[in-house]
Amino acid sequence: MQMPDPDAVLIGRKADIVSKLERLLPADAVISDIAETRAYECDALTAYRCPPLAVVLPGSTEEVAAVLRLCHAEGVPVVPRGAGTSLAGGALPTADSVILGVARMTEVLETDYNNRVIRVETGRTNLSVTGAVEEDGFFYAPDPSSQLACAIAGNIAMNSGGAHCLKYGVTTNNLLGVTMVTMDGTVLELGGAHLDAAGYDLLGLVCGSEGQLGIVTEATLRILPKPEGARPVLMGFSSNEVAGACVSDIIKAGVLPVAIEFMDRPCIRACEAFAKAGYPDCEALLIVEVEGSDAEIDHQLGLIKQIARGHDPVELREAADADEAGRIWLGRKSAFGAMGQINDYICLDGTIPVSELPRVLTRIGSLAAEYGLEVANVFHAGDGNMHPLILFNANTPGELEKAEGLGADILRLCVEVGGCLTGEHGVGVEKRDLMADQYAPADLEAQMAVKDVFDPAWLLNPAKVFPLQVSEARRTARLAAE
Amino acid sequence: MQMPDPDAVLIGRKADIVSKLERLLPADAVISDIAETRAYECDALTAYRCPPLAVVLPGSTEEVAAVLRLCHAEGVPVVPRGAGTSLAGGALPTADSVILGVARMTEVLETDYNNRVIRVETGRTNLSVTGAVEEDGFFYAPDPSSQLACAIAGNIAMNSGGAHCLKYGVTTNNLLGVTMVTMDGTVLELGGAHLDAAGYDLLGLVCGSEGQLGIVTEATLRILPKPEGARPVLMGFSSNEVAGACVSDIIKAGVLPVAIEFMDRPCIRACEAFAKAGYPDCEALLIVEVEGSDAEIDHQLGLIKQIARGHDPVELREAADADEAGRIWLGRKSAFGAMGQINDYICLDGTIPVSELPRVLTRIGSLAAEYGLEVANVFHAGDGNMHPLILFNANTPGELEKAEGLGADILRLCVEVGGCLTGEHGVGVEKRDLMADQYAPADLEAQMAVKDVFDPAWLLNPAKVFPLQVSEARRTARLAAE
């Protein structure tokens, strides 16, 4: 990937754009000092960096619209940014772009328990949405591992999931309405606090569109009453394949746990060392959690344990109390951090039909051996959303590239078995060139034609989602036609 | 609404198009005889009728593509048709259009219990999807009242719901992938048997787009294991408002029944006369059903009955056995038929935030009195999806128009309280002119711009969804620009 350094033309351009931005926004909402913009030069995909032209931190939908109108008129690309936790480079700047961050827009605008909805500004973090309603017994269901930091804006952009989405669905299933500003500054209201909507489902289209169709400034989210109780059970198995087969059997039996999480040996060890979760020392571990009344939990866990016993588990243990349950989840939720302490890694996000889990885990093992790299697996098994972590040493020249090669092969494998490139992290820059493996030209064309509608000049979150050559060719052709 | 009769120009045009269609399809797949096309002159919104130019009944995606390519080249509008059960005129022809019916495409293409999906041709009826898997203990969740007749194609076009969608979601929550042919004959594959999809969610966009973006020929649907058991409870109340308040309290408490159905006195009487369901003679009735193990059902119904008791029910009765449960549901599911035996009616589909139910029911009563018409209410109360039936006498001149006026006022009321024009029936021709009440010009513009992408000449299912003047102006402008 080429990231040209800012050149002389850019410097003059920058001065002009920054002064215009400063006329639109409060003084502290425009960041142009090169040292300060460095904080925005990457997101959580830290292998790629590029300082932007400037950063703006508007405080309202109106200010967002004003910035977009200006950038639209000036032909300046805009990169939307939530909390910058994207693992796929979804918030990576280009050198000629303005980063538009929603971090200052964090208000709760309305809480309506009668209709079980909350309306928030999208800079608010995922966990603090739950924080705003939990005293009254409610929660917001999607729970990405980064939920302490990640913003609702990014959750919507990537259609984020999380461990408990097996039961509650991902962001799109919990998003009822948005206020979105398109690149030309038009403010749209999509959806609302009601079932469905008349006409086309633009809300569904916008959710997961990676900030390329507009900037979502406010969101109406479904909140749910906290379940009476929840209890995880730990299941250890003698191989990844056996654990995968067990997941497949649970799903097939139609029991609906809130979560089925999977960890293989490298992850189990790292998490145990990090969180003292009480994990058994085995090849593969499942954490299966069910919710409800005590009677319901007992009933469901009974069925689940019966299925697990058919796979000769080396461990089968229900959490005895809330404290043990908390430790079990702390281990899982700190998996990425724990792995990061001992390795550099690339985290993939391929999603496959659940029945393919055993076969795909075996193939990932073989591919890793071919590349001479280690892969640790930790993921949402219930919905087939895999997160292979490819471990490598960033200080060894060529090893990042090797890891990326393995990552691409694993994702192609996911597509080959009927799955897809990404479940919840998005395409970003990371997987843009693999989109041609996922989609036929006509399918890609349909997506890009929709982009044309909302952002004819392709200024919003450029150089992402679509194969770079394809999107650049399209952009050039459109500019020539104007 | 004006529906011009076929004129001389049209007759020559028809002969030409029909002979070209006959070259593409088997002889019995093209219907042009005026007596035979009459069977397709309307859907379930029988107040509007117009015979089409011709009807084609292709047998495969390839044949659908061939027909669309031809019609695209010839500039012939195409009206897609599932089973023709639309209550909103979604399959109403225009005189110059070809009806493309998918009624012959009814095959089950793949059944995959391991991943809990089924792939079917979209002419298959809703109930026969369940029929294909029920022996193995599975079912397809969305259950429109017309499920015996309505086709999956129409369910996708309208994003259909049903009584049990409170728990299981509507079509869009149970649709994983489609094969869709766009107006120019391009075959797209959207989604698949896996969670989410990389890039934009065109699948979500297509679901509910009323056949205006393409013709969906194949669909991958989620199937679910049948619950262990289910039990309805009947609750009778002294007024609509009290019943509405009870619904609101159940939702607020966060209990999740699979269904909360509402009927007012006129409906209760008609259904009881028709189905001998054992309904009490009261002002308002709720049917609340919960599912699961016996223990779970007892637990949940306990909570629900406790809430109901706070509203002084005149009846509170659990179904004692499967037979009684069956009668209770037969009564509800035959509501439209039962009302149809004693009145002409218009069935509305407005959807509101659940907490607004009591207020809106009262306002509907006042509006009906102002118009001098009777309104019967029967609807999915749990998700706020109302189905007021406006009763009138079609033989009394001017009464249909009066009923339509009341309908429009009720739908405007739904929008006013934060709801929308349609939950599951679609906009069709029926509500197209009300879209301007629901949406600001910029919001409508965004939807129409998406239509431009998929069908630049606006040939597919014309004159629907958008206000007629607005869509015609757009179409004319685009033709002039070409």
Average pLDDT of each block of 10 consecutive residues along chain B (482 residues)?
A: 64 92 96 94 92 97 98 97 94 96 98 93 98 96 92 97 87 95 96 77 95 98 91 95 91 86 92 89 95 87 95 95 91 85 89 90 95 92 90 92 96 94 92 93 94 95 94 86 74
What percentage of chain A exceeds 70 in pLDDT? Answer: 98
CATH topology of domain A229-336: Alpha-Beta Plaits (3.30.70)
Contact A200 B208 (CB under 8 A): yes
Q: Is the pLDDT of residue A433 over 90?
A: yes
Choice among A20-34, A49-63, A146-160, A245-259 with the minimum mean pLDDT: A245-259
A128: confidence class by pLDDT, cuts 50, 70, 90? very high
Interface contact flag, B116 A251, Cβ < 8 Å: yes
Determine the pLDDT at residue A171. Answer: 95
Q: What pLDDT was estimated at residue B3? A: 58
Give the other-Cβ count within 10 Å of B449's Cβ: 16
| CATH 3.30.70.2190 domain span(s) along chain B | 229-336
* CA pair distance A139, A131, nearest whole angstrom: 8
Q: Comparing C-alpha atoms, which of B54, B140, B46 is closest to residue B85? A: B46
Chain B contact for A65 (CB, 8 A cutoff): no
Dist CA A231 CA B60 (whole Å): 49
Report, as an integer, the average pLDDT of A163-167: 85
Q: Is the pLDDT of residue A29 over 90?
A: yes
The number of beta carbons lying within 10 Å of the beta carbon of residue B17 is 21
Query: What's the mean pLDDT when you consider all of chain A?
Result: 92
pLDDT of residue A305: 96
Q: Is B267 exposed, middle or buried (0-12, 13-18, 19+ CB in 10 A)?
A: buried
Instruction: Check whether A2 has a pLDDT greater than 70.
Output: no
Chain-chain contact of A198 with B454 (C-beta, under 8 angstroms): no
The residues of chain A that CATH labels 3.30.70.2740 are 343-416
**So what's the architecture of A343-416 in CATH?**
2-Layer Sandwich (3.30)
CATH 3.30.43.10 boundaries in chain B: 8-101
> What was the pLDDT predicted at B194?
67
Q: Is B253 an interface residue toward A (CB < 8 Å)?
A: yes
Residue A243: which of A360, A95, A96 has the closest Cα? A360
Put simply, the answer to whether B225 touches A253 (Cβ < 8 Å) is yes
A65-68 contacts, C-beta under 8 A, 24 or more apart: A65/A181, A65/A185, A65/A186, A65/A187, A66/A24, A66/A25, A66/A185, A67/A21, A67/A24, A67/A25, A67/A98, A67/A100, A68/A100, A68/A181, A68/A182, A68/A183, A68/A184, A68/A185, A68/A215
- Greatest mean pLDDT among A254-263, A338-347, A395-404 lies in A395-404
pLDDT at A164: 84
Distance CA B347, CA B154 (A): 18
Note the pLDDT of residue B364: 95
pLDDT at residue number A393: 92
Contact B209/A200, CB-based, under 8 Å?
A: yes
Asked if B116 reaches chain A (Cβ–Cβ under 8 Å), the answer is: yes
Give me the residues of A, 75-94, that contact B with CB < 8 A: none
Label each residue of chain B as H, E or C. Answer: CCCCCCCHHHHHHHHHHHHHHHHHCCHHHEECCHHHHHHHCCCCCCCCCCCCCEEECCCCHHHHHHHHHHHHHHCCCEEEECCCCCCCCCCCCCCCCEEEECCCCCCEEEEECCCCEEEEECCCEHHHHHHHHHHHCEECCCCCCCCCCCEHHHHHHHCCCCCCHHHHCCHHHCEEEEEEECCCCCEEEEECCCCCCCCCCHHHHHCCCCCCCCEEEEEEEECEECCCEEEEEEEEECCHHHHHHHHHHHHHHCCCCCEEEEEEHHHHHHHHHHHCCCCCCCCEEEEEEEEECHHHHHHHHHHHHHHHHCCCCCEEEECCCHHHHHHHHHHHHCHHHHHHHHCEEEECCCECCHHHHHHHHHHHHHHHHHHCCEEEEEEECCCCECCEEEEECCCCCCHHHHHHHHHHHHHHHHHHCCCECCCCCCCCCCCHHHHHHHCCHHHHHHHHHHHHHHCCCCCECCCCCCCHHHHHHHHHHHHHHC
Cα separation, B112 vs B210, in Å, equals: 28
> How far off is chain A from B159, nearest CA to CA, in Å?
8
Residue B460: predicted pLDDT: 97
Please indicate if any CB of chain A lies within 8 Å of the CB of B451.
Answer: yes
Query: How far is Cα A80 from Cα A93, in angstroms, rounded to an integer?
Result: 9
For B108-225, the fitting CATH number among 3.30.465.10, 3.40.30.10, 3.40.50.10470, 3.40.50.150 is: 3.30.465.10
What pLDDT score does B47 carry?
A: 84
Distances (CA, A) of B391 to A74, B271, B404: 58, 15, 11
Give span(s): CATH 3.30.465.10, chain B: 108-225
| Tens digit of each residue's pLDDT (9 = 90 or more) over A303-335 | 999 999 999 999 999 999 999 999 999 888 888
The residue behind tokens 């669905």 is A169
Q: What is the 3-state secondary structure (H, E, C) of B417-461?
A: CCCECCCCCCCCCCCHHHHHHHCCHHHHHHHHHHHHHHCCCCCEC
Least confident of A342-356, A372-386, B187-201: B187-201
The pLDDT confidence band at residue A88, using thresholds 50, 70 and 90, is very high
- Of residues A482 and B410, more confidently modeled: B410
C-beta of residue B403 within 8 angstroms of C-beta of residue B64 = no
**Topology (CATH) of B8-101:** 3.30.43
A189 chain-B contacts, CB cut-off 8 A = 440, 443
**For range A51-60, the mean pLDDT:** 97
Cβ–Cβ below 8 Å for A161 and B195: yes
Assess whether pLDDT exceeds 80 at residue A196. no
3-state class of A195 per DSSP? coil
Q: Is A384 helix (H, G, I), strand (E, B) or coil?
A: coil
The percent of residues in chain A predicted with pLDDT above 90, rounded, is: 75
* Torsion angle in degrees (nearest 10) through CA of B58, B59, B61, B62: -80
Judged by a CB distance cut-off of 8 A, whether residue A481 touches chain B is no
Reply yes or no on whether the pLDDT at A275 is more than 90. no
Amino acid at A261: E
Write out chain B residues lying below 8 Å of A224, CB-based. 254
B193 touches chain A (CB under 8 A): yes
What are B408's two structure tokens? 């429009």
